[in-house]
Amino acid sequence: MDILHILLTDSFWAAALRIATPLIFGVLGALICEKAGVLNLGIEGIFAAGAMAGWMAVWLGAGLWGGLLVAAIVGGGFGLMHAILTVPLGLSQHVSGLGITMFATSLSYFIYRTALPQVTSPPRITPFQPLDIPILSDLPFLGPVLFQQTAMTWLALFMVALVWWVLNRTPLGMALRAVGDNPDAVDAQGLSVYGLRMGAIVAGSALMALGGAFLTMSAFDAFFFGMVNGRGWICIALVIFASWRPGKALLGALLFGAFDAFQVRLQTEVGAFVPSQVFLMAPYVLSLVALVIVARRAEYPAALLQPWFKGQR
Amino acid sequence: MIRFEPRETPSRALTLGVPVASALIALLLAAIPLAFAGANILEAYGQMAKGIFGSTFAFTEMLTRATPLIFTGLAATLAFRARLWNIGAEGQFYLGAMAAVTVGTGLIDAPGIILIPIILLTGAAAGAAGMAGPAYLKTRFGADEVVTTLLLNFIILIFLQMMLEGPLKDPMGMGWPQSEPILDAGMLPQLLPRMRIHAGLIIALIAAVIAQIMLSKTVWGFKLRAVGENAAAALHAGIGVKRTLMGAAVVSGALAGLAGVSEVAGLKGYLTADLSPGFGYTGIVVAMLAGLSPIGVVISAVFIASVFVGADSMSRAMGVSSYLADLVVALSLICVLIGGFTARYRILIVRKGAA
């Protein structure tokens, strides 16, 4: 009875959307890279770098939007590294991505630790506040769920629409999808395969970094080591779950957020009988199960993981 | 304009020289973050060297640190050779360690000559099972093993925390989430008095030699390499691709499991949830730096262990964050990737009109 009641509360759905927000950024970022034919396992580290860089920029006085810009640029920078390694050099996308994750994570940790040696409690910033749009936020149910989120959640939702529009309604999007399916055809059209792929990785990585920045600039107000905690990997699973479609990516992230919010509330109901780790484990298990279910039907971009060299067929 | 032209056969000097050069470049690049941290760069390198070669104890500490890295490096090597992306060595490490404390803390009371092999085998079996699962999901359902092994790392770590607060918890542990200690008879023998270096290193070296022989001299190894180089051609040639992948997965997982056994039954004696500072992930760097050669893994594990031990000691002496070690390890991976490219391709600078 209590369990069903949880699903009807506005605070539950507000939490679901809040938890989904960084994942929306991350899934969209990974989706753009993979649509162009490049797997980006740098995501976990780019999340950490975005979280650290965004937070530190605000802490140094850049302002919240300035912080987001810094996070996006830092993410794009790591994306450019991955792009150079995997596109013109055609190196293993798996290994390069893991290398970027290790590099971005350790560099962020090193810089944070060097700038703030041994502080007892991590310094805090004033994060994005709930928007509290007049009138709309007073609506029953919808008000708390939609109109009391922070600007970053709105930015994430806007990005879903933008990415969908670019991919499906613009010549750039068409070229981008083609470069992940049939790079030879794109080359024959006189378009630059390298340019399109590298651009997609840089843009996708910038989005991933915004997902990381949400953690330190909206969800919390400080940076912690290990705070990304596998969110990047979950995004990689969600992209497959979403069949590389922005709309389904939003749905997948929301389902994940709802599940996560639900398990936290369930924990308070039945926590006395079930070890808390069962609930902590649940989101990862859910991602794994969802991945296995859709794996058979997954239609990967045809040229995903395949390097392409100009003048070689 | 720059053009890349494949080399006919990469020369032996390049295949050996590239990893060494990459490792050295990564080490030199550490000067940048050191300068950023405001440290005296030469003194920092001196402290690092002192932390590795400064005393017998320092040197054996480095070898102790290299031991689990040899195991996880071999785990990555064998899987990657079959182009099976086992990124789950971290989880398999903990499965092996959990199995070791399950059988080694009193469940079986036997003399060491019996107990130690039992601990090693159960640990290896647990690690093998941890990779057999994702390999099965890959061959049966087509589920990408990169994602499944990565997610399993988190699932296994949380499972471990649950076990350490439940069935595996030491009642005498003052409430800390840690396992009971392994029986004295189950502990791997020490190699030198008053040093922490233990027989795990010997087992790791034997494993490297066996892996090298299996990979280069047996039919099993031939099939594994064939699947890794071209799965479609291997299938056409009548090689059971799924079977070969499962075999690679089991051996790879078992090696990662042994890393966990070696750390818990060779070094710590009991299990905590922070037993591994990322040995599983670092194993990938070790394997890549070794050019996916099992014997090479031993050398690159010693290098990576030196970076960690040297940077730790430098960090204690000079107050520079020890995350520097992780940074150098990540840089080595990126350098060896780029280096591997230059070994395979000649870089030509073509003047416009000259071609």
Chain-centroid distance, C-alpha B182:
24
Residues of chain A contacting B150 with CB distance shorter than 8 Å = 230, 233, 236
Residue B261 has pLDDT above 70, yes or no: yes
Structure confidence at residue B346 (pLDDT): 74
What single-letter DSSP state applies at residue B183? Answer: P
Residues of chain A contacting B147 with CB distance shorter than 8 Å = 233, 236-237, 240, 287-288, 291
Residue A203 has pLDDT above 70, yes or no: yes
Looking at the partner chain, which of B141, B334, B338 has a beta carbon nearest the beta carbon of A292? B141
Residues of chain A contacting B340 with CB distance shorter than 8 Å = 91
CB contact under 8 A, A114 and B321: yes
CB contact under 8 A, B333 and A99: yes
Q: What's the mean pLDDT in B284-306? A: 95
Structure confidence at residue B18 (pLDDT): 85
* Cα gap B111→B122, rounded to integer Å: 17
- Flag whether residue A216 sits within 8 Å of chain B, measured between CB atoms: no
* Cα gap B56→B125, rounded to integer Å: 35
Residues A142-178 have pLDDT tens digits of 777 777 788 999 999 999 999 999 999 999 999 999 9
Domain boundaries, chain B: 67-290
Calculate the alpha carbon distances from B82 to B27, B244, B257 in Å: 30, 8, 19
Looking at the partner chain, which of B158, B324, B329 has a beta carbon nearest the beta carbon of A102? B329
pTM of the model: 0.93
Residues A93-141 have pLDDT tens digits of 999 999 999 999 999 999 999 998 876 788 899 999 888 777 777 777 7
Residues of chain B contacting A103 with CB distance shorter than 8 Å = 327, 330-331, 333-334
Residue B5 has pLDDT above 90, yes or no: no
Residues of chain B contacting A81 with CB distance shorter than 8 Å = 334
End-to-end CA distance of chain B: 10
**Is residue A49 within 8 Å of residue A107, measured between CB atoms?**
yes
Render the burial of B241-271: b for 16+ CB within 10 Å, e for the rest: beebbbbbbbbbbbbbbbbbbbbbbbbbbbb
DSSP letters spanning B121-169: HHHHHHHHHHHHHHHHHHHHH---HHHHHHHHHHHHHHHHHHHHHTTTB
* Cα gap B127→B96, rounded to integer Å: 5
Residues of chain B contacting A298 with CB distance shorter than 8 Å = 142
- Flag whether residue A92 sits within 8 Å of chain B, measured between CB atoms: yes
Residues B15-36 have pLDDT tens digits of 788 888 888 999 999 999 999 8
CB contact under 8 A, A236 and B150: yes
Is residue A192 classed exposed, middle or buried when 0-12, 13-18 and 19+ CB atoms within 10 A define those classes? middle
CB contact under 8 A, A81 and B334: yes
Residue B4 has pLDDT above 90, yes or no: no
How far B68 CA lies from chain A's nearest CA (Å)? 19
Q: What's the mean pLDDT in B188-192? A: 93
Residue B8 has pLDDT above 80, yes or no: no
Beta-bridged to residue B2, according to DSSP, are B349
Question: Which domains does chain A carry?
Answer: 9-115+144-295 (1.10.3470)
Is residue A97 classed exposed, middle or buried when 0-12, 13-18 and 19+ CB atoms within 10 A define those classes? buried
Residues A14-42 have pLDDT tens digits of 899 999 999 999 999 999 999 999 999 99
Minimum mean pLDDT range among A53-62, B120-129, B300-309, B332-341:
B332-341
Residue A53 has, within 13 A of its CA and on its CB side, a CA count of 30
Chain-centroid distance, C-alpha A37:
18
Structure confidence at residue B57 (pLDDT): 93
Q: What's the mean pLDDT in B212-230? A: 94
Render the burial of B147-160: b for 16+ CB within 10 Å, e for the rest: bbbbbbbbbbbbbb
Average of per-residue pLDDT values in chain A: 91
Residue B246 has pLDDT above 70, yes or no: yes
CB contact under 8 A, A295 and B284: no
Interface test mutation site (partner A, options B151, B160, B286, max chain A beta carbons within 10 A): B151
CB contact under 8 A, B158 and A281: yes
Residues A5-14 have pLDDT tens digits of 777 788 888 8
Interface test mutation site (partner A, options B158, B165, B344, max chain A beta carbons within 10 A): B158
Q: How many CB pairs under 8 A join A and B?
A: 133
The backbone torsions φ and ψ at residue B135, rounded to the nearest 5 degrees and listed phi first, read -65, -35
Structure confidence at residue B89 (pLDDT): 97
Quote the tokens at residue A20: 């989904």
DSSP letters spanning B259-304: HHHHIIIIIISS--TTS-SSHHHHHHHHHHHTTT-HHHHHHHHHHH
Structure confidence at residue B355 (pLDDT): 42
Q: How many CB atoms lie within 10 A of CB A1?
A: 4
Residue B72 CB contacts under 8 Å (≥ 6 apart), including other chains:
B89, B93, B255, B256, B259, B279, B280, B282, B283, B286
Structure confidence at residue A99 (pLDDT): 96
Residues B322-334 have pLDDT tens digits of 899 999 999 999 9
Structure confidence at residue B354 (pLDDT): 47
CB contact under 8 A, A113 and B321: yes
Residue A85 has pLDDT above 90, yes or no: yes
A2 — pLDDT class (breaks 50, 70, 90):
low
Average of per-residue pLDDT values in chain B: 92
Q: What's the mean pLDDT in B52-67? A: 95
Residue A267 has pLDDT above 90, yes or no: no
pLDDT above 70 covers a percentage of chain A that reads: 98
CB contact under 8 A, B330 and A94: no
Structure confidence at residue B352 (pLDDT): 58
Looking at the partner chain, which of B141, B320, B330 has a beta carbon nearest the beta carbon of A102? B330
Q: What's the mean pLDDT in B310-330? A: 90
CB contact under 8 A, B144 and A295: yes
Looking at the partner chain, which of A96, A113, A233 has a beta carbon nearest the beta carbon of B151? A233
Calculate the alpha carbon distances from A189 to A182, A184, A246, B261 in Å: 11, 9, 26, 57
Residue B353 has pLDDT above 60, yes or no: no
Name the 3-class secondary structure at B343: helix
* Cα gap B262→B203, rounded to integer Å: 9
**B155: nearest CA in chain A?**
A281
Q: What's the mean pLDDT in B206-211? A: 98
Residue A130 CB contacts under 8 Å (≥ 6 apart), including other chains:
A148, A149, A150
Rg (CA), chain B: 22
Residues A268-279 have pLDDT tens digits of 777 677 888 888
B319 — pLDDT class (breaks 50, 70, 90):
confident
Looking at the partner chain, which of B85, B142, B326 has a beta carbon nearest the beta carbon of A296? B142
* Cα gap A127→A220, rounded to integer Å: 7
Residue B160 has pLDDT above 80, yes or no: yes
How far B142 CA lies from chain A's nearest CA (Å)? 6
CB contact under 8 A, A240 and B144: yes
CB contact under 8 A, B148 and A85: no
Looking at the partner chain, which of B87, B324, B331 has a beta carbon nearest the beta carbon of A103? B331
pLDDT above 90 covers a percentage of chain A that reads: 66
* Cα gap A264→A92, rounded to integer Å: 39
